[in-house]
Structure 1
Amino acid sequence: MGRKSPYPMEFRNDAVALFRAAGGRRTYAAVAADVGVTGETLRSWVRQADEQAGRASNGEVPSESRDEELVRLRAELGRLRKAEKGVGARAGDPAAGGPVFRAGDEGMTGRWDFISAHRAEFGVQRICRVLGVARSGYYRWLAGAEARQARRVADDVLVAEIREIHASHNGTYGVRRVHAELRGFGHTVNRKRVERNRKRVERLMRVNGIEGRYLRKRKRTTVPDRLAPPAPDLVRREFTAVQLDEKWCGDITYVQVGGTWLYLACVIDICSRRVLGWSMATHMRTQLVVDALTMAVATRGGRVAGVIFHADRGSQYTSATFAQVSDYFGIRRSMGRVGSSYDNALAESFWQGLKREALRDTFTTVRQARLEIFQWLTYYNARRRHSSLGYLSPVEFEWQHQRGHRLTLAA
């Protein structure tokens, strides 16, 4: 009998579904890197799923289910829409009634162009006198034509890079994250020019209609159990930590799926903002949060004694079952006050990011919703740049944090 996998069955099934949804366009290694496992591990999970379904006996490649095909086609349609945005015919035309030039350019640029167009017929001196402008200004403008052309070409190249970054992150990145991604590609090494280039990125995104995604209002879902004994508040709105596994936080949210709901529970490391564990189900019972916590413990190799886990006073977190599981792992429970979202602000902020970037439409099936959420969670951990981490992803931050700790110990 083989060794029991440290990854929950729910996680393995979602990883297999994510690989299959790629339809052969991504390798095992590429999908596994997002999920946080090795390519061979993912390959074995897919093989096991095939064997359980009875599809590996004749050597056939498993075909897509209708739900998987729908997910793939929706994703492909979204990519095509994003790729086409702003690059079609007349896409750069100004809006009706809008200014043709940037603010401040309408007067002088138009005059200089007029002088250039009619200088052979009337002469520069006469036109400048009629228009009330200095010839020296016109000649300076004329001398800068080559530099302006070079800037336009450079802006076009930068806009193309911005569009590529924006599309690769599903249209969710705004100015700051796009700018951080560009810096990650080697742009702007001079610290004095950082703010200037950020404003340039902001201007180009505004002019070209490229913007991040914003969140609509959401409903409050916490149902407190006022009879259960609460745990003390060990965090007190201090959502910072010096070390990994010093403080965790968690919460529950919901996703509309047709006429029903899918519930999601997460566990987040406050130091790195990494989602260590999650669970999805069509119910909101205590097992939902227990599964998320168990996955977080497995992610850290089981060595989590002493970590603080902070949540709201929802009935799932105040239950005796959750308290027993926390005590078994040596986890210290912490709770905020009833009805105060600020007491669990980090988890609330995380839900805002998830709903803004991944939950744009109502899903038609639970399978589709699970796949989209799982894909975003793995992307969030491995690739999404986080403002509070110096625009590193949570996994990158943890790697640098652990590397610095090892160097300190070696010294």
Structure 2
Amino acid sequence: MPRKFFNDIEIKSLSNNPYVKSVSSKGITYTDEFKRILIAESNSGKLPRTIFEENGFDIEVLGIVRVQRAASRWRTAYKKEGVLGLQDTRRGNSGRPTQKELSLEEKNARLEAQIQLLRAENELLKKLDMMERGLKRVKVSAESKFLLIRSVIEKYELKNMVFFLCEISGVSRSGYYNYFSSESRERRDQREKKDLIIKENILKAFHFKRRSKGARSIKMTLEGQFHITYNLKRIRRIMKKYKIVCPIRRANPYKKMLKATQEHSVLPNLLNREFKQEIPGKVLLTDITYLYYGEGKKAYLSTIKDSSTNEILAYNVSNRLTLDLATDTLIKLKKNKRVKFANGAFIHSDQGSHYTSPTFQKHVKKLGLGQSMSRRGNCWDNAPQESFFGHFKDETYIKQCNSLEELKKEIKNYMTYYNNFRYQWNLKKMTPVEYRNHLHNVA
């Protein structure tokens, strides 16, 4: 294919493109910046023709062969020498890199520059990864990336590498320069002064009457006591920025762990408060309660109760509110040879994260049971189970226990007493075990 030459009109048109360094009738020299753009966008899957067109070049004027050869030449240089390979080493505007023999000092200088760039790139990526880990894989803000890029450039004394470092950090070069402009700095300084004033007001409300408060309480206290009104989102932003943390009613970390990996499912209410169906092994109720014992110690009790007989069929005690607390209770239910499930038997619970867990629901299916759940926030849908916990806490001596082993021993003794020796008025004045045997005999 004959070589394409540019006429005067084409030379004038090409010269107006900001990515053209110089142009003659025989050839064209592109800026280093455009070469880096082509390399970056080629890696994301774009064709050279598309990249040239998007950056203002007329392919009919350049010729597709010239475009493809330039792209190929730049990719080869980038693979061989990295970003340094894209820097212009040409004489004049015509053509190709000269085959000048470099002196030993020049070779060492170039090698040192390459090493510095690699160190800077490695440090930047490493620090970005550490920042993301510190934020639990939450996206790092553009502001943090700009500051990191600036620190790397200053540390390694890099020149003309802003575009490259912004590219690997996922931020724009224009955003970087805008962030460090004098106008932008003034705006940030003004906002920082305003934030400090808001912070002081928030702290007044936070410590009012020496009672810690959350964002909503702070908002109401500011309005009611100090006649200051802030948007709730602003209060939360300032609290987060200056690490003002309310120590009460924090999110339960175990619930977060339970929901971190799989999708949880809420199931319909099959029970509809029909607790007394007079069929042992038909309706099973389950729940978890807190137990405070000793000197400020806390444990958790999970139980499974037969709704018709009030018998505790299985229970589990732990000092951690993990998923195992509920699933191990199911395993103990399975090992209880006295338990015989009736046709259509199911287990009923609230919508706690333990019971919506796919793992718990899989255990229930393995037992051949259906599953039912109370309506959200309605404790009456599981009233007999709540009632049992109330009697349990009234009649046991858990506060006198000094260790988890003592607590487990006390609970075991009470469960034996409750099932076999505690007579109940609503069970025809029988114990749960006696009433279960009675129902079997009647059937």
Report the TM-score when normalising by structure 1.
0.42
Bigger relative contact order, structure 1 or 2 (CA pairs below 8 A, ≥6 apart): 1
Report the TM-score when normalising by structure 2.
0.39
- In our comparison, the structure showing a higher alpha carbon Rg is 2
